[in-house]
Amino acid sequence: MPPSGCSQPSGAMIFASRPVLGPSIFTLGAAAGHVNQMVTAHNFAPGNAGIIFWTDIFIPLFGFALLCLQRRNVGSGAVAVPIPT
């Protein structure tokens, strides 16, 4: 039996990961381009090596972390409780 979490995505999780997967591939590719510019052209401008570079890395990680949490909650039978207004 595999450990719980994101080890084996079910059919529903593969479908749910599509909105995260495409932008993640794009932003991680952009981060690779930023690294290339930093190494080859020594371009450490704020628009290349600043906050844009770090968001290209951390936003996909955050999205996949949320998917893992969703898988754990769906698999455990947890129910979302509405917030009283």
Does residue 48 sit in helix, strand or coil?
helix
Specify the higher pLDDT residue, 29 or 13. 29
Note the pLDDT of residue 69. Answer: 84
Tokens of residue 47, six digits: 């628009």
pLDDT, position 6: 57
Q: How many CA within 13 A on the CB side of residue 80?
A: 5
Q: Do 84 and 18 form a contact (C-beta atoms < 8 A)?
A: no
Contact 49, 38 (CB under 8 A): yes
pLDDT tens, position by position, 51-68:
999 999 999 999 999 888
- Report the mean per-residue pLDDT for the chain: 82
pTM above threshold 0.85 = no
Distance, CA of 28 to CA of 25 (rounded, Å): 5
